[in-house]
Amino acid sequence: MQSLSLSMSLRSGSAANLLLLGSEARVRRRSRSVIVACASEGDSGSSSTSSFLSRTQTYALLKQQLQVAAKSEDYKEAARIRDSLKLFEEEEPVLRLRRLLKEAIAEERFQFYTWAPFPLSFQDAASYRDELKKIAPHSLLKCCSDATTLGIRVQVRSVYIEGRSQPSKGLYFFAYRIRITNNSDHPVQLLRRHWIITDANGKTENVWGIGVVGEQPLILPGNSFEYSSACPLSTPNGRMEGDYEMIHVERVGSRSFNVTIAPFSLSLLGDDEGCNI
């Protein structure tokens, strides 16, 4: 793994599962790289993390099958797979809980009254967040981050690249866009980068490098530097964070300092709301 510069199971009788089984042979004839893998309920001892990874892999394969059907101009098959995706999204607890959490925040439902003498017809934001923590902690981390250190602001936005991913082979490709803005009174130069990349299984890798995308940019006060890069993962979800080593170029003999890159998610499911940078 290098930085390159939701709790739901498809029930055996569900429409999505039956449709997948019916479409598997047709899609395989068009592309050997597309393999249907339906998630099913595991043993009682299975971890929620493994279950979540199986479901998101199924989601990725469905999306890839839709792309293959569309490219081959089999619009009937594409419509069938699109219906499977819609059903999956409606039944998938992570997607459902994220939608409910967003609605609760919009309606300012922040307190859960456990003392209520009758069952509540809706929950508060905190309870939805607690449920998400149990079944898919990665889903709570947004696909964007924004942090400022000593006047240097770093904004990041990540996105899943379906066309370069191969879910059947355990390859998920993510691109990210970064904007570095110098809001300080001093010109700075970016010397080195350090990334901490963690996949959904908890495997962590540290990546160091000189500059970014082959440059060691000089950023004047009030100016920004933007670039795009990418990161492949072996799981459909993960996270990145890190820092840039910078120096104040007008101060002779000044020490370098680290600028924080706040954590952000690498997620096949993406965000309900994007972050513009």
Q: How far apart are CA 117 and CA 2, in angstroms?
A: 54
pLDDT at 224 over 90: yes
In tens, the pLDDT along 161-213 reads 988 998 888 899 999 999 999 999 999 999 999 999 999 888 999 999 999 99
Cβ(77)–Cβ(22) under 8 Å?
Answer: no
Q: Please tell me whether residue 182 adopts helix, strand or coil conformation.
A: strand
Q: How far apart are CA 70 and CA 63, in angstroms?
A: 11
Strands (E), the chain: 144-149, 152-160, 172-182, 188-199, 204-210, 218-219, 224-233, 237-248, 257-267
Expressed in angstroms, the distance from the first to the final Cα of the chain is: 26
In tens, the pLDDT along 188-202 reads 999 999 999 999 888
pLDDT band (50, 70, 90) for residue 122? low
Cβ(257)–Cβ(44) under 8 Å?
Answer: no
More confident residue, 93 or 192: 192
Predicted local confidence at residue 63, as pLDDT: 77
Predicted local confidence at residue 67, as pLDDT: 79
Predicted local confidence at residue 222, as pLDDT: 97
More confident residue, 176 or 100: 176
In tens, the pLDDT along 44-84 reads 334 555 565 567 677 777 777 887 888 888 888 989 888 88
Sole residue written with tokens 């390859």: 171
pLDDT at 7 over 50: no
Q: How far apart are CA 168 and CA 171, in angstroms?
A: 8
Specify the pTM.
Answer: 0.61
Structural domains present in the chain: 54-135 (no CATH), 141-267 (2.60.40.1470)
